[in-house]
Amino acid sequence: MKVIMLGYRSWATVALEKVKAHKKISKYEIVHTHEKLMKFDLDDWDLLISLGWSDELGEDVTNQIFCIGLHCAELDRYSYGSPIQLQVIDGLTKSTHRIFPFLSDKTSKRAHTHSREYSHEIEFSLEGGIEDIFLELTRTSIILLDQFLSDYPEIQWKQWPIESIVRPKREPIDSKINKQDLQNMSTMDLYNLIRCLQDPYPNAYIEDEVGTIFFENVSFIKK
C-alpha cells in the first residue's frame, strides 16, 4: 500500500513516524504542507492520512485519493472546530478519538467530519496540561492508525449520533477573560480555561488600561 501522511503538529509527526513502519505500507511520504501535497500525482497513491490537520483538503484532493483524518471528540457538538479546548472548558476529563473519512462538502458547517462516519475509536484522557493531552493524542493516533491499516480495505463504517447543540470554533479573542467571567467562574473553571490555552494556542489573558497579563501555565490543588 502506498500512503501519503499529512501533518505538521509535533505530536502528529511523532505518531506518523511510528505508523510509517506498518507492515502493509510499501511506500510512504510524510508531508507538512498542502503545497507539497499538491506536487504529488495523487492517483498513484492508495491512501492519504491527515493528522492534526486544521484546514479542509479540498475537492482537488478528495476526488483523487481516499483520505482519512482523526477527530478527538465523542459528542457531535464538538465537530465544528476547537474540540480539545471546548471539551476541557466544558469540564470533560476524557473523550473519544476516532478515524473518519475526510470528505469535501462546501455546504457543511462542520470542521472536516461532514458525514459523522467513523471506523475505529479509542478513549483518551483530557487531564493535565496541553502537552499531556498532546501525548495522549500521539498515543491513541498510533493505535488507531495501526488498527485501520491492519483492517484496510475491509473497513466497517459507523455513524455517531447527531446533536442539535453546536459548540462553535473558538477565536483568539475568546482567550480574553473579563471581570464578569472571573466573577462567574470557579477555580476549576479558570484552571480548565488556562490549561487548554497553553502554547501553541492563544493564551488566556486579562487586560486593563495599564496592560495585559498572559497565562502561560497553571497548576491546581483541589481542596
Phi, psi of 190 (to 5 degrees): -70, -40
Cα 205 to Cα 131, 133, 171, 180, 184: the distances in Å are: 19, 21, 13, 14, 16
The fold of the 2-159 domain, in CATH, is: Rossmann fold (3.40.50)
Task: For 132-180, write each residue's pLDDT tens digit.
Answer: 999 999 999 999 999 999 999 999 999 999 999 999 999 999 999 998 9
Residue 106 pLDDT greater than 90, yes or no: no
Distance of CA 144 to the CA centre of its chain: 14
Enumerate the domain spans of the chain: 2-159, 172-215
**pLDDT on residue 39:** 96
Task: For 35-72, write each residue's pLDDT tens digit.
Answer: 999 999 999 999 999 999 988 999 999 999 999 999 99
**pLDDT on residue 54:** 84
Task: For 66-101, write each residue's pLDDT tens digit.
Answer: 999 999 999 999 999 999 999 999 999 999 999 999
Neighbours of 136 (CB within 10 A): 23
Instruction: Go through the chain and tell me how many residues it has.
Output: 223
Whether 100 and 70 have beta carbons less than 8 Å apart is answered as yes
Task: For 197-212, write each residue's pLDDT tens digit.
Answer: 999 999 999 999 999 9
